[in-house]
Structure 1
Amino acid sequence: MNLYKKLAIQTILYSIGFIFPKIVNYVFLKFFTVFFKREEFSLYTDMYALSFIVIGFLSFGLENTYFRFLYKKNYNKEIVFSTVVIMQLLISSFFLIISINLINYLSFAAGYHNHPEYFLMFFLIIFFDTICIIPMAWLRVNDKPLQYSTINIINILIQSFIIIYLFFCYKNIYENKTLFFFIFKWVNSFTDKIGYIFFANMISSLGNFFLILPILLKKVTIKKFNRILAMNMFSYGIPIMLGTIAFSINENLDKILIKRYISDEINGSYSACYKIAAFMSLYLRIFKLGIEPFFFKKSKDSDAILYYEEITYIFILFGLIFYVLICGNINIFMKFLIDEKYHVAIPIIPIIMMGNLFLGVYTNLSIFYKIIDKPLIGTYISLIGVFITFLFNVIFFISNNSFMIPAWGTLTSYGSMLTVLYIWGKKNFFKFCYKKIRNIIIHFLFALFIVFIIKKEMKLSFLLQFLYLTIILFLEKKRLINLIK
């Protein structure tokens, strides 16, 4: 129980550092959807969609690689950390040099020939963010959730201040010609209001780098770089990198293609509603922050599989509760978080959320092939997901009349990945007992049934949610009590 208690406390602290920035981002989501036209919001989301794919490539799977090699007995922890940080720094620096030299070509190819400054700012954002990945992982490994959360909170506060200032506050000091005014004048000389957001992100990413710099200066030295270890890490990380890229494609291809082949207006609505559906990935990320290092630590123990199975079951249980509560109150969330002109894409939200829950279960189960040093399994499964994503988007462009098809593609892609992984794992590694599988299926069907009825009878939403929670509490009373203890 002490292990669970420590795990719960750490997860709560990580959650604060993760949830607070997300809350701030959702506050800005309301502001952006009110302030910007749908086609302008499409530009904003498109740049981030493109950058996520690039970050997936540059990360080279080194975060998971770091976790894995850290707990191998024949490697010194400081050597592992120095080696992986230097690898990440070299990869990121090479990317920055090449991309800046190709900036005009890349911005033209992506349809932003009038705004190459967008790409310059994003190149710097990507550079600093990728460098910070491993030091932030070091904080998680060394049980420093408070420091981790503090850095995240400072980061979002810097970004928020700059955005608010650039959009509003500069007017109050226009006549005084203060330093802040000249900063605004300089920013305004090379970009527009969409670019203000990217500029704020760039400065916050730079600030994040300076906050983790003491860790790098103290813990990383060239003498501790191990070339053989680096090659082993590289070999282990490439399949994970390919899987990460596949995930980025699954998450962002729809938005990239809708913008370029349908319209910015539709993409703006689709992207805004997609962010509401991303509440489920928020739950996944919070769970992952606290659980993933624990998974690797427990991999040495004889009872590791029992822990994995129980935690995965709990993840599914709370994920379905989260799903019902969000879908049951979707009108309230939409009213407060997104301007009404974006509501046309509301029907995608339950579909994308369930797809993200499938992804969360897949992520939990994927630990099994990582701890036996077979990340290539994840690459193959991810490629299956990418194929399905491409297939649905091709159908989408052939029919050319519904943005619902990419949403169903996301659900089908992640559902297929989970199914393939479960079939492989059941034969080769884990064996969930029949009772747990039966209960999981019942929970899924019950949650979907409740959401379906709520959609048909919104007036009964509160009553149905209460009924659902009461039944879940009755069915899982013993497990929930043990978890609380």
Structure 2
Amino acid sequence: MSIKKLAGQTVWYGIPRIVSRFLNFGVSLLGFQLFDPNGSYPYTQIYAVIPFLTVVYTYGLETSFFRFAQTHDRQKLFNTLNISIWISTILLTVLLLAFKGPLTDFIEMKKYPEFVTWMIWIVFFDTLYTIPLAKLRLEERPRKYAFVNVFSVLLNIAIVLFFFYVARPAHEAGENSLLALLYNPRIGIGYFIIANLIASGVTLLLLYKEFTSFKFEFDTRLWKEVLHYSYPLIIVGFGGMINEMLSRVIYRKVLTESATQAEFELGVFGANYKLAVLITIFIQIFRMAAEPFFFNQSRSEGAQKMYARVTKLFTIACCFMFLVISLFLESWKGLIASKHPEYAKGIHIVPILAMGSIFLGIYYNLSIWYKLTNKNMMGAYVTIGGAIITIVLNIALIPEFHYTGAAWATFVCYAFMMVVSYVQGQKHYPIPYAKKKLITYLVIVTLLYVIHEFLITRNIPAKAAYFPYVYYGSSLLFLGLFTLLIVKVEKREMQKMPFIGKYFA
């Protein structure tokens, strides 16, 4: 598989995924428009916990499916892993529902215990279609994959709009109708969770062909091999979720302010975290196509050079995204703070989180070494180290610096994981990364943001009539300068690129 094919796969996985994630992003922004920070904090809390549960429910089987599909009978593997995940999902769901009370207390959701129940069922449905979706990716069927994802998101959005723009007006008008009865003001932002639950359940129906294609054939020996490979990935995944989500899960526990203030800050933190997620969306899209690509490419001659090239192009793309986010913060601010200006109090953490997300994306590229060499425990150790840093820094920084401290904890954690993974990877699976060049690009975009922030944003009154012209003009200038740099330095690389290469010939 070539870079051109990877690009094509990324487009097929990417465009629908971009559409899906941006639609999800938009619907979450709707939540920030409808509810102030205190009203939106339950949404932030629930969606900080879901990734933790997902790691436990899936226990690394998705990556294992790609890995073992290269050496084992794919149908037998598909059958075995499907049976495994069905049984474990049912057992875990029963267990969580039985101990829902302690879970609700732990995640500070005592006011909304029903939200926790809905959360558990969301994870239940999402887990069941993990392997069928992985099968679509492995078989390079991105059209079906795209349809399933986009339909699910559109259904989710339609349900949200129904509750807030059809049922709620009927309720507020005092109508004596079924529509009016469908809306309960106490649930509030919980309707976003209900919509997600319904969409997740319906998605299973869209994959009925994939579900009916598996037989009740369970290979115990193969299952044990897979678990031996995947159990370190549980540690990797769980550690990754600690690094990404812990700050929001424990925020109320470590902050010394009142509960109301903590809820307010958590709502602000969650809203601004959403803006940094724009880079994370790209990273997730890239991983959709890259993970099977990396495994398929592993037996090819010159695989290491291919990995190095992919990482360079990935980093350049992330640098552009960082500049678009950080140099145009005034525009992004309007997405979350147009109705509730208090959300804008946390806008300064977005560039910190965005650069941290880039480090995480580079780490994902670097981590291919331990997956290909069957040294998953090494990856687990790196993630554990990052998790320890996350825990310590969040506990130390949040009481003093609030969500700014949480943002820096994320930044430091991902920087650590990126550096350690690179150093260890070069020992066990050397790849000729363009290290100096990539570090230079990351430093340049950081300096461009810092210069823009201190020379423009902090020295020109925001209320001045000429502020928008200077602000956006300088933003476009800095973005253009970086573009010229890349075009000049990477001209040969650009000429090799599919679709756009002809413009650099």
Please, what TM-score do these two structures have when normalized by structure 2? 0.90
Unpaired segments of 5 or more residues in structure 1?
Answer: none
Aligned mate of 1:129, from 126, 129, 147: 126
Which residue of the partner structure matches residue 193 of structure 1?
188
Q: Distance in 1 between matches of 2:436 and 2:406?
A: 30
Match for 1:469 among 480, 483, 486? 483
1:450 paired with 2:451, answer: no
Q: Which amino acid aligns with 1:201?
A: N
Q: Distance in 1 between matches of 2:134 and 2:307?
A: 21
Residue type at the aligned position of 2:187: D
1:235-274 matches, within 5 Å, as: 235-262=228-255, 263-274=262-273
Match of 2:460 in 1: none
Matched residues in 1 for 2:166 and 2:179: separation?
12
Question: Would the aligned equivalents of 1:42 and 1:259 in 2 still touch at CA under 8 Å?
Answer: no
CA distances 1:39-78 after superposition (whole Å, capped 9, x unpaired)? 1211111011112111111110111010000001xx1110
Distance in 2 between residues matched to 1:201 and 1:38, nearest whole Å: 21
Structure 1 equivalent of residue 392 of structure 2: 391
Q: Which residue pairs with 1:375 in the alignment?
A: 376
Alignment of structure 1 residues 323-402 onto 2, 5 Å: 323-339=322-338, 340-397=341-398, 399-402=399-402
Classify 1:102/1:275 alpha carbon distance in 2 versus 1 (closer, same or farther; 3 Å).
same
- How far does the alpha carbon of each residue in 1:67-94 deviate from its partner, in whole angstroms, 9 at most, with x for none? 000001xx11100111111111111111
1:92 alignment partner AA: T
Q: Is the 8 A contact 1:18 1:152 kept in 2?
A: yes
Aligned partner of residue 222 in structure 1, secondary structure: coil
Q: Which consecutive unaligned segments of at least 5 residues does structure 2 have?
A: 256-261, 457-470
Aligned to 1:151: 148
The one-letter code sitting in structure 2 at the alignment partner of 1:297 is N
Distance 1:23 1:241 in 2: 28
Q: 1:187 to 1:129 in 2, by over 3 A?
A: farther
Q: What is the CA–CA distance in structure 2 between the aligned matches of 1:105 and 1:29, rounded to whole Å?
A: 28
Q: CA deviation at 1:386?
A: 0.4
1:346-402: CA deviations, max 9, x gaps?
Answer: 1111111111111111101111110111111110000000011011112125x5343
SS state at 1:403 partner = helix
- Aligned counterpart, 2:216: 222
Equivalent residue for 1:60? 59
1:27 is matched with 26
Residue 329 of structure 1 and its aligned partner are, at CA, apart by 1.1
Shift of 1:131: 1.0
Residues in 1 aligned to 2:497 and 2:164: alpha-carbon distance in whole angstroms: 46
Go from structure 1 to structure 2 and tell me whether the alpha carbon gap of 1:66 and 1:183 turns closer, same or farther (over 3 Å shift).
farther
Structure 1 distance, partners of 2:497, 2:175, is 58
What is the CA-CA distance between 1:173 and the residue it aligns to?
6.7
Question: Is the CA contact 1:277–1:352 (under 8 Å) kept in the aligned structure 2?
Answer: yes
Q: Distance in 1 between matches of 2:309 and 2:107?
A: 45
Is the alpha carbon distance of 1:36 and 1:231 closer, same or farther for their aligned partners in structure 2, counting shifts above 3 Å? Answer: same
Q: TM-score, normalised by structure 1?
A: 0.93
Give SS of 2:189's match: helix
Distance in structure 2 (CA, Å) of the matches to 1:312 and 1:420: 16
The 3-state SS of whatever aligns with 1:168 is helix
Kept in 1: contact 2:168–2:183 (CA 8 A): no
Given that residues 304 and 432 in structure 2 are in contact (C-alpha distance below 8 angstroms), is that contact kept between their aligned partners in structure 1?
A: no
Q: State the alpha-carbon separation in 2 of the partners of residues 272 and 171 from structure 1.
A: 23
RMSD over equivalenced CA pairs, Å: 2.0
Q: Using the alignment, how far apart are the partners of 1:19 and 1:314 within structure 2?
A: 19
Secondary structure of 1:432's counterpart equals coil
The equivalent residue for 2:464 is none
Q: Deviations over 1:246-274 (max 9, x none)?
A: 11111111112223443011111111101
Q: What residue in structure 2 maps to residue 164 of structure 1?
A: 161
Q: Is the 8 A contact 1:272 1:338 kept in 2?
A: no
Return closer, same or farther for 1:232/1:450 CA change in 2, 3 Å cut-off: same
State the shift of 1:115 in Å.
Answer: 2.4
* Matching residue's letter, 2:446: L
Q: Deviations for 1:261-320, whole angstroms, at most 9, x for unmatched residues? A: 430111111111011011111111111111111111011123211111111111111111
Q: Does 1:206 align with 2:204?
A: no
Secondary structure of 2:108's match? Answer: coil
1:418 corresponds to: 418
* Residues 62 and 237, structure 1, Cα contact 8 Å, conserved in 2: yes
Matches of 1:401 and 1:312 in 2, distance apart?
34
Cα deviation for residue 171 of structure 1 reads 5.6
CA distance in 1, matches of 2:278, 2:5: 25
2:309 maps to 310
CA distance in 1, matches of 2:195, 2:431: 48
Tell me the distance in 1 between the aligned counterparts of 2:250 and 2:101: 22
* TM-superposition CA deviations, 1:165-216 (whole Å, max 9, x none): 11121267779999xx647735649x61222111111000001111112201
- Matches of 2:324 and 2:491, distance apart in 1: 19
Distance 2:206 2:373 in 1: 34
Contact kept, 8 Å, 2:279 with 2:357, in 1: the verdict is yes
**In structure 2, how many angstroms separate the alpha carbons of the residues matched to 1:261 and 1:439?**
40
Partner amino acid, structure 2, of 1:479:
E
Further displaced range: 166-175 or 368-377:
166-175
| Paired residues of 2:349 and 2:407 also in contact (CA < 8 A) | yes
The one-letter code matched in structure 2 to 1:343 is A
Checking the alignment, whether the CA contact within 8 Å between 2:294 and 2:307 is kept in structure 1 is: yes
In the TM superposition, residue 481 of structure 1 has moved relative to its aligned partner by 1.6
1:437 maps onto 2:451 in alignment: no
Residues 393 and 405 in structure 1, CA contact (< 8 A), matched pair in contact too = yes
TM-aligned CA distance change 1:321 to 1:342, over 3 Å: same
Cα deviation per residue 1:81-139 (whole Å; 9 max; x = unaligned)? Answer: 11111111111111111112222332234333342211111111000001111111111
SS in 2 for 1:280: helix
Structure 2 matches for 1:1-16, cutoff 5 A?
A: 3-16=2-15
User: Are the equivalent residues in 2 in contact too, given 1:29–1:337 (CA < 8 A)?
Assistant: no
- The 1:396–1:176 alpha-carbon spacing in structure 2 relative to 1, beyond 3 Å, is closer
Q: In the aligned structure 1, how far is the partner of 2:175 from the partner of 2:216?
A: 46
Match of 1:79 in 2: 76
Partner residue, 2:108 = 111
Render the CA deviation track for 1:428-480: whole Å, top value 9, x for unaligned. 211426xx222112212211111111112343222111111112111111101
1:171–1:415: structure 2 CA closer, same or farther, 3 Å change rule?
A: closer
The one-letter amino acid paired with 1:128 is F
- Give, in whole Å, the separation in 2 of the partners of 1:197 and 1:342: 19
**2:38–2:264 CA contact under 8 A, matched in 1:** yes
CA contact (8 A) 2:59 2:234 kept: yes
Residue 208 of structure 1 aligns to which amino acid in structure 2?
A: T
